[in-house]
Amino acid sequence: MTTRSLRLDEAHQLTRLLFQVVDRAQEDFREVVAEEALTPPLARMVLMLEQPQPMRELADHLRCDASNITGLTDRLAARDFVERVPGEDRRIKLVTLTDQGRLLRSRLVARVAEGSTVMRRLSDDQRAALRPLLEAMLIND
């Protein structure tokens, strides 16, 4: 095998493993949030709402259209987890957690961490070694 084909094979193997880890992490997340009767997008939105957020920022973070945020907000509001409040600029609506939503967010934070393959399967030292590797892959060129 040539050096080039060895590097391509290595890249393929590493990429495949990374995708498998991501798939497992997503499955862990789906299982945990399903126990709270939430879909992953609803749970991600709740987790994002540490502070009130404009709907546009929520859409950007969740990588979806603002109209999707309206639907997610409606579903969470119907369960008394969020409410819309006016921002400093009254034209901008903010989404904020209700008391029930803050309790839900606290449960989710704890349960997502406990249910995470990364936290369950890796030691403290392994996680400490993994962080800089992941960060290095995310640095913009």
Summarised one tens digit per residue, pLDDT across range 68-127 is 999 999 999 999 999 999 888 878 889 999 999 999 999 999 999 888 889 999 999 999
CATH topology of domain 3-138: Arc Repressor Mutant, subunit A (1.10.10)
In contact, 38 and 46? CB cutoff 8 Å: yes
In contact, 84 and 93? CB cutoff 8 Å: yes
Mean pLDDT in residue range 55-65: 91
pTM: 0.84
Residue 36 has pLDDT above 80, yes or no: yes
Structure tokens, 133: 């590797």
Residue 48 has pLDDT above 80, yes or no: yes
Residue 141 — pLDDT band, cuts 50, 70, 90? low
> What SS3 state is found at 46?
helix
For every residue of 124-135, DSSP letters joined together read HHHHHHHHHHHH
pLDDT at residue number 91? 81
Burial 82-101 (b: 16+ CB within 10 A, else e): bbeeeeeeeeebbbebeeeb
Residue entry with tokens 């606290």 = 106
Q: What is the average pLDDT value for the chain, to the nearest integer?
A: 93
